[in-house]
């Protein structure tokens, strides 16, 4: 069996001590295989956001182990975790998080600059990513000149331009209307199917979670249900 891209082994995340102690994660274990599309769900305070922060190397467990491609992330230094984020992870957020005064193309070039790629290579890769998300011809538009759905497409292009192993999408449709939300989810589904991109999606919306093939539901820091939602072809 193929080794998982990510795995939690009895992960705890505890804030505070004594009477103020909060167990954001309380002994969580799961694994996600390459090419899976997984929705993480749960009410506010359930542990799903803490899980995403740990997956994204923005936080570390209090106890237990987080493995990325077999490597124990907890044993890595801060700089090593930053390199893991830079080279293997792509992020999509609810608020787009684009640089407002720069063009779509320039927004995509930013993560490539951190990889120290030359200008010609950066431009080629950025143009290719914009075409993948259906924004060919919009490379010179700033975020203010794009609709919300188009801005999120730019954000997805920025997330995939580095060809990550894992895409983490945190409420990616939260600022969009219903029609644009489903367009974005169809795009993520296509990237998953055609590129084999592993996608982990946080959402509280049932219709958005329905795009995933598997669902992990959190409550009070624990996984309460895992469901395989893959439909027969």
State pLDDT tens for residues 156-166: 999 999 999 99
Dump pLDDT digits (tens) for 4-35: 999 999 999 999 988 889 999 999 999 999 99
Q: What are phi and psi of 25, to 5 degrees?
A: -130, 135
pLDDT of residue 117: 87
Q: Over range 186-212, report the average pLDDT.
A: 94
What value does the mean pLDDT of the chain take? Answer: 92
CB 208 within 8 A of CB 181: yes
**Residue 96 CA, distance from chain mean position:** 12
Lookup result for tokens 């182990």: 65
pLDDT of residue 233: 38
pLDDT of residue 1: 60
**Which tokens hold the place of 129?**
């990513």
Instruction: Report which of residues 96 and 210 the model is more confident about.
Output: 210
CB 204 within 8 A of CB 170: no
Dump pLDDT digits (tens) for 29-53: 999 999 999 999 999 889 999 999 9
Handedness of CA 23, 52, 227, 33 (dihedral sign): negative
Task: State yes or no: pLDDT of 210 exceeds 60.
Answer: yes
pLDDT of residue 163: 92
Instruction: Report which of residues 95 and 220 the model is more confident about.
Output: 220
**Which tokens hold the place of 34?**
């390459």
Domains of the chain: 6-97+166-228 (3.40.50.300)
Dump pLDDT digits (tens) for 137-150: 999 999 999 999 99
């Amino acid at each position: 069996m193929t080794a998982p891209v990510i795995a939690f082994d009895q992960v705890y995340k505890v804030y505070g001590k004594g009477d103020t102690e909060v167990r954001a994660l309380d002994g969580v274990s799961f694994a996600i295989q390459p090419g899976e599309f997984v929705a993480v769900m749960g009410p506010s305070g359930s542990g799903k956001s803490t899980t995403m922060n740990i997956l994204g190397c923005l936080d570390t467990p209090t106890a237990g182990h987080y493995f990325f491609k077999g490597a124990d992330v907890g044993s890595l230094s801060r700089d090593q975790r930053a390199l893991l984020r830079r080279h293997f992870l792509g992020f999509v957020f609810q608020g787009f998080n684009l640089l407002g005064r720069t063009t779509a193309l320039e927004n995509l070039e930013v993560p490539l600059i951190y990889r120290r790629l030359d200008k010609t290579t950066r431009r080629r890769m950025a143009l290719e990513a914009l075409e993948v998300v259906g924004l060919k011809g919009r490379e010179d538009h700033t975020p203010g000149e794009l609709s919300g759905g188009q801005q999120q497409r730019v954000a997805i292009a920025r997330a995939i331009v580095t060809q990550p192993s894992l895409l983490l999408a945190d409420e990616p449709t939260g600022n969009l209307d219903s029609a644009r939300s489903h367009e974005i989810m169809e795009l993520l589904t296509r990237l998953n199917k055609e590129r084999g991109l592993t996608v982990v999606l946080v959402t509280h919306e049932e219709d958005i979670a329905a795009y995933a093939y598997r669902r992990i539901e959190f409550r009070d820091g624990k996984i309460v249900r895992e469901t395989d939602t893959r439909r027969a072809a």
